[in-house]
Structure 1
Amino acid sequence: MNEQIPVKNVTPVKVHKPSSGDGGKRHDSRSRIYVRAVQGPLETFRRFFGLIFLALFAVIPWIQYNGKQAVLLDIVEQRFTIFGLTLWPQDLTLLAYIFIVSAFALFFVTTFAGRVWCGFMCPQTTWVYIYTWFEEKIEGPRNKRIKLDARPMDADKFIRKTLKHTAWVAVALLTALTFVGYFTPIGALFINFFTFSTSSWAAFSVLFFAVCTYANAGYMREIMCTHICPYARFQSAMFDKDTFTVSYDAHRGEQRGPRPRKLSHEQVQEKGLGDCIDCNLCVQVCPTGIDIRNGLQYECINCGACIDACNGVMDKMGYPKGLISFTSEERLSGGTTHIIRPKLIGYFIVLLIMVGLLIADIVTRIPLAVDIIRDRNALYRETNDGLIENVYTIKVLNKSQTTQTYTISVEGLPEYRFYGEQEVTVKGGEVFSTPISVATDPYNLEDVVTEIMFTVQTTTIDGDVVTVNEPTKFIYR
């Protein structure tokens, strides 16, 4: 009982958290996070990466394939067209595989490199940076924006605010039109929207997503990352001591504090100071307003802005870079990072398996679906010449992108007569429905219910024979 609990002196860290502001307003000049612009390799890479995904998002719905919009997710028609592939509700397993592959790819990347999806690829982050760019160009850098928001409304402030919000609204509207263009023909959507002749649902969708984009990227910003997005909450389940995250090297940085630039690195260390000069630039450039020196926090989106800011300061001070870097907890504690480890291998194996199943499902997918619906008004009827007749409705779904001709036949019924079209032509991605009837002599029927098979067959442009057999019943009495 005489043993004392060891006490460690910890340097207090100023936490950069938004205050409640007067009246509890979240976005007044005292509570907003004013993100400072930063330059560096990671910032350049993030902008380049973001522009690639932004360009893909904007261009893909305009691409034409076989005279049609290449990517069209038509919810009304329950038909998803992705270049030469058409997905229907019957292809739900294929969509499930796509979502599962995406999920395990995210798990794998998170286990290896932390929350880099949020920092480099998330649409929320990309659009926030777009809105911040307009904000900086119109209202000025961080310090000027703070002063602009703090002063009373005047002509200059009114003009700048009007220009900024006009640009935000324009970006939001273009974003919404492009997004809705994935679900309805985009060319007609743009023309009809600006000529006020679009449908009410399309107009509502565009305005709804425009408001969401404007609110999320213009006002909510870090709130989406820290409070609304579920990824911030469950990402810790994938982290381990070998996960690469944006981290501050406390052993090298402490004891922090200001110092003259003329002092050499060795002289600073002799005074008991670490490399951190407590300039707070790492806090000012953080889009979620955290202080990375407090350690790993769920709000961190691994964008690396603080790395670029800190490396710039280290260059000016003549210190080695890497005080803040992408590193692992294991390395910071003096150990060696283990890149290949059981958790990462497990995610990779599952990812490969799911990708294999997805590819197999696509390769073995039959570009034809047949549905047989019996006539509900009568189980059977007797024709004038004494035959027993059953009436059906056959639906032929052409899942390919080319027009196909199909032949229809019946198996399992002796000496039958077929009434209706036995050869039908169906355009790519469409459904053909036609009533048909089958009749036979009752003396040929041994049971009340006879199992029969409708066979639909076609030959593709590649010469492959596609056959689908759909079972049904022929009823008598």
Structure 2
Amino acid sequence: MTSTRRKSVIPIVAAPVSEQTMSLYQSTQKVYPRAVSGYFHHWRWFMIWATQLVFYGMPWLQYGGRQAFLLDIDAHRFYLFGLVILPQDLFYLALLLIICATGLFLFTAVAGRLWCGFSCPQSVYTELFLWIERKIEGDRLARQKLDAQPWRLRKTSLKVSKHAAWLAFSLITGFTFVGYFTPIRELLGDLQQWQLGGWSCFWLGFYGLATYGNAGFMREQVCKHMCPYARFQSAMFDDHTLIVAYDSKRGEPRGGRSKGQAPDALGLGACIDCNICVQVCPVGIDIRNGLQYECISCGLCIDACNEVMDKMQYPRDLIRFSAAGDGGKQPLRQHLFRPRVIIYSSLLALMTGGLVFGLMHKADFKVDVMRDRNIMYRESPQGIENLYQLHLSNATEQVQRYRVRATGIAMLNVESEQTLTAGPNDEILSPLSLSAPASYQRGSQPIKIEVTALPSGETVITNSTFYRP
């Protein structure tokens, strides 16, 4: 028997060609945060008031006849109440920045991104700008309807009023910022007389427009795409870090229902899928999708969800602050005694103690002694003479007198002026001549130059050298 195998042929038909344009970038949807009231909302506004009272009020405080807090770049002075920090003391400012960074790491390890939600300037000014927007344009639905309307007189007047209020607030903020670097009372007088300097105008406008752009337009985009803290925060999280968490075990499956209906009887979870937690979020995320780097831990979704749970007569805390590792299953139990918290706390305590000790024992004046590079030595009737330049900075608010003496070589004499006088916050540059007998040992010898404040007796010792050929 013979069998014939037939080969099936699949015809190839040319598919119709259609051109499609695909964008590599997703357009950003504008976020319209909904107003909400509750525990975390009140705490958030308390922190806004506290931080802004400090920011806007600090430059106006006076201490000892001058501005209490002033970064005077022209005079190379940093005034903090009775403390005067000179350029030579920038170590303290660097240490202060390191302390702030370590404190932020510690706070993040323990409590997540509460800094972002409650104290970060971007979040604070965004909330203030949103408050202005709500007062002029209305709440979420009213703003959405207004933006969808064509440009007519009402929409134009509301938009102009809102942006005028934003600009005014931004310029006040810029003026206050410049007041930290230029005495703010003098700055106000110059502004009233239209005599602001070029740099003052530049920084006032720059910081004002930055506030206007970041808080008025970019808003959550700064937190999502520009802030580096959002990117590396996960490195500081562990299973006990406090985050905003949705209890999916209790909340799923979602579904709508009438008020008072028991979820178990309907085969549903506690979440009624109202999306109010999404509507109140200032960065426009859905916390029910799990931990996301965009979340700033403001807690507004908790307030919104608790309000819905109260209306539905369900237990609260479907969304709550919880430890990252429990998945929202258990109430938060803060574990403070764990390695990273102990390390951060120890470093923070050590550096803070060092900063406080250093500031308490910081000398009230600074001394620098520089050899005259043009003349290594010269002969005089007193023997061999070396020339120096003594730079003295008075960091106090009073006139001070200082005595200069040199030690380290027998019969070493101070030939120039031995008593110096410096005014308040003054710097003086004085020539200093030291001489030793011609018969003294040859070569370069180490010496010490002591400057003593009178009558307090505080002494600063500077090392130098004396050369005899």
Provide TM-score, normalisation by structure 1. Answer: 0.88
**Equivalent residue for 2:372?**
375
Q: Which one of the candidate residues 416, 420, 425 is aligned to 1:424?
A: 420
* In the alignment, structure 1 residue 365 sits paired with structure 2 residue 365: no
Residue in structure 2 matched with residue 468 of structure 1 by the alignment: 460
* Matched letter for residue 476 of structure 1: R
CA contact (8 A) 1:138 1:164 kept: yes
**Counterpart contact for 1:101–1:355, Cα < 8 Å:** yes
- Who is 1:353 aligned against? 350
Deviations, residues 295-340 of structure 1 (Å, cap 9, x unaligned): 1100000000111111111111111110111112344464674513
Map 1:315-334 onto structure 2 (within 5 A).
Answer: 315-332=310-327, 334=329
Separation in structure 1 between the aligned mates of residue 195 and residue 400 of structure 2, nearest angstrom: 35
Following superposition of structure 1 onto structure 2, how do residues 275-314 of structure 1 map, counting pairs within 5 Å? 275-314=270-309
Aligned to 2:193: 195
> 1:447-473 deviations in whole A, cap 9, x for unaligned?
13333321100146xx5x311111222
**How far apart in 1 are the matches of 2:53 and 2:293?**
30
Change in Cα spacing, 1:57 to 1:222, as seen in structure 2 (3 Å) is same
* TM superposition shift of 1:256: 0.9
Residue 252 (str. 1) matches residue 250 (str. 2): yes
With over 3 angstroms needed to count, the CA separation of the structure-2 counterparts of 1:25 and 1:114, relative to structure 1, is closer
Q: Deviations over 1:328-380 (max 9, x none)?
A: 23444646745132222222222222222222222332222211122233222
Supply the RMSD in Å over aligned alpha carbons. Answer: 2.2
Task: Tell me, in whole angstroms, the C-alpha distance in 1 between the residues paired with 2:423 and 2:27.
Answer: 56
Q: Aligned match of 1:222 in 216, 220, 223?
A: 220
Partner amino acid, structure 2, of 1:398: N
| Distance (Å, rounded) in 1 between the aligned partners of 2:411 and 2:123 | 68
> Paired residue for 1:76?
74
Unaligned ranges ≥5, structure 2:
1-22
The SS at the match of 2:44 is helix
Farther-moved stretch of structure 1 (66-75 vs 76-85): 76-85
**Aligned residues of 2:239 and 2:323 also touching (Cα < 8 A):** yes
Alpha-carbon distance in 2 for matches of 1:23, 1:55? 45
Q: Deviations over 1:398-428 (max 9, x none)?
A: 2334432211112234445534332222234
Query: Is the deviation greater in 169-178 or in 296-305?
Result: 169-178
Q: Which runs of 5+ in 1 are unaligned?
A: 1-21
Q: Does the alignment pair 1:96 with 2:91?
A: no
Partner of 2:4: none
- Write the deviation string for residues 88-127 of structure 1: whole angstroms up to 9, x where unpaired: 2322332232122211211111111110000001011110
Which amino acid in 1 is paired with 2:235?
A
Partner of 1:393: 389
Counterpart contact for 1:97–1:357, Cα < 8 Å = no
The share of aligned pairs that are identical, in percent, is 43
Q: 1:162 to 1:26 in 2, by over 3 A?
A: farther
Structure (1 or 2) with the larger CA radius of gyration: 2
Letter of the structure 2 residue corresponding to residue 468 of structure 1 = V
Q: Is 2:45 the counterpart of 1:47? A: yes
Work out which structure has the larger RCO, using CA pairs closer than 8 Å and 6 or more positions apart in sequence: 1
**Amino acid across the alignment from 2:361:** T
Amino acid at match of 2:342: I
Kindly indicate whether the alpha-carbon contact (under 8 Å) linking 2:406 and 2:413 is maintained by their aligned counterparts in 1: no
Aligned counterpart in structure 2 of residue 435 of structure 1, from 412, 431, 438: 431
Residue 429 of structure 1: CA displacement? 3.1
Distance in 2 (alpha carbons) for counterparts of 1:243 and 1:414:
65
CA gap of 1:241–1:451, structure 2 versus 1, over 3 A, is: closer
Kept in 2: contact 1:85–1:401 (CA 8 A): no
Relative distance call for 1:285 and 1:412 in structure 2 (3 A) is: same
2:322/2:328 contact within 8 Å kept: no
Q: For residue 134 of structure 2, what is the amino acid of its counterpart?
A: E
Residue 245 of structure 1 aligns with an amino acid whose one-letter code is I
Matched letter for residue 399 of structure 1:
A
Name the SS of the counterpart of 2:354 in structure 1. Answer: helix
> d(CA) in 1 for partners of 2:348 and 2:24?
50
**Matched positions, count:** 445
Query: 3-state DSSP class of the match of 1:442?
Result: coil
Indicate the SS of the match to 2:441: coil
1:442 is displaced (CA, Å) by 1.5
Aligned pair in 2 of structure 1 residues 272, 301: CA closer, same or farther (>3 Å)? same
Letter of the aligned partner of 1:173 in structure 2?
L
- Mapped to 2, the partners of 1:147 and 1:43 lie a distance apart of 25
Q: Which residue of 2 aligns with 1:4?
A: none
Contact conserved, 1:411 with 1:452, CA < 8 A, in 2? yes
